[in-house]
Chain A
Amino acid sequence: MRFMVIVKATPESEKEGALPDPQLMAEMGKFNEELIKAGIVLAMDGLHPSSKGARVKFSGKSRTVVDGPFTETKELIAGFWLWQVKSLEEAIEWVKRCPNPHACDSEVEIRQVFEMEDFAPILSQEEIQHKVRARAQLPYQTVNK
């Protein structure tokens, strides 16, 4: 099963021009090496503060662009992993072993990723195959193993 493991932002990570604390980065680096050795990590990335981002609001045909930064820090993403594990419980155990990604209290959300086969109730086999083939062309697409 694949899971997206989402590290939420904090006021520190959201500061303009913020870079991770080198000490935390080193601890996280060690943890990542463990995860990689265990064959769990499919992909991972950190995100710049939301001041460098934007939001696009969709309503029917209309599109409204709002520049960052955004204020609901606790709900913003600072980074993520994509993991391949046997169950949600296994993902939770690994997350509990993660060093705190931030110097202050923080939160990590774990969400299961849709596989194309999950859409069998609403798509034909043909449509599912089409999606699987299209995704296989993406240079860095992760797939369930």
Chain B
Amino acid sequence: MRFMVIVKTTPAIEKAGALPDPQLLLKMGKYNEELLKAGVLLAAEGLQPSAKGVRVKFSGNSRTVVDGPFTEAKELIAGFSILQVKSLEEAIEWVKRAPDCRPGDESEVEIRQVFEMEDFAPILSEEQIRHKVRARAQLPYQTANQ
């Protein structure tokens, strides 16, 4: 099963122009190498602060663009990884082992199960599912259930 591990941001991380704390970056690097050695890590990315981003609101045919930064730090994403594990419980165990945060930097990680094309069997034909699997296999860096 694949899970997306979503690291929520904090006000400190969101500071305009902020780069991650180098100590934390290196600790996360060590942790990711553990995950990689265990064959669990498929991909990982960090996101720049929301000041460099935008939101696009969809309503019928209308599209409204709102520039960052966005204020609800607890709900913004700082980064994510994709894990290949046997269960949600295993994903939780791995996440609990991520580096400690400093006092005042309390943070949250959300773990969500990723859809496999086969999950769409109730609404798509075998043919349609195979088509999607083939299209995705062409993507240069698509993670796939192993």
Interface residues of A in 18-36 (CB under 8 A from B): 19-20, 22, 25, 29, 32-33, 36
A40-52 CB contact bits vs B (8 Å, 1 = yes)?
Answer: 0111111110101
Q: Which B residues touch A100, using CB under 8 A?
A: 58, 60
The answer, yes or no, to whether B123 is at the interface (CB within 8 Å) is yes
Q: Which B residues touch A96, using CB under 8 A?
A: 56, 63, 65
The answer, yes or no, to whether A55 is at the interface (CB within 8 Å) is yes
Q: How far is the CB of A90 from chain B (nearest CB, A)?
A: 12
| Docked complex Cα distance between A122 and B112 (Å) | 31
A72-B75, A142-B141 known; A111 vs B56 contact (CB < 8 Å): no
Closest to A2 in B: B45
Closest to B113 in A: A48
Q: Are B114 and A107 in contact (CB under 8 A)?
A: no
Interface residues on chain B, size class: 35 or more
Q: Which B residues touch A127, using CB under 8 A?
A: 26
Q: Which of B42, B56, B63, B111 has the most CB of A within 10 A?
A: B56
Which of A43, A56, A118, A131 contacts B142 (CB under 8 A)? A43
The answer, yes or no, to whether B12 is at the interface (CB within 8 Å) is no
The answer, yes or no, to whether A125 is at the interface (CB within 8 Å) is no
The answer, yes or no, to whether B19 is at the interface (CB within 8 Å) is yes
Interface residues of A (CB under 8 A from B): 2, 4, 6, 19-20, 22, 25, 29, 32-33, 36, 41-48, 50, 52-61, 63, 65, 70, 72, 75, 77, 79-80, 82, 88, 92, 95-96, 98, 100-102, 105-114, 118-119, 121-123, 127, 130-131, 134-135, 137-143
Closest 10 CB pairs of A and B: A75-B75, A142-B141, A140-B143, A114-B46, A46-B115, A53-B112, A48-B113, A111-B53, A112-B48, A122-B22
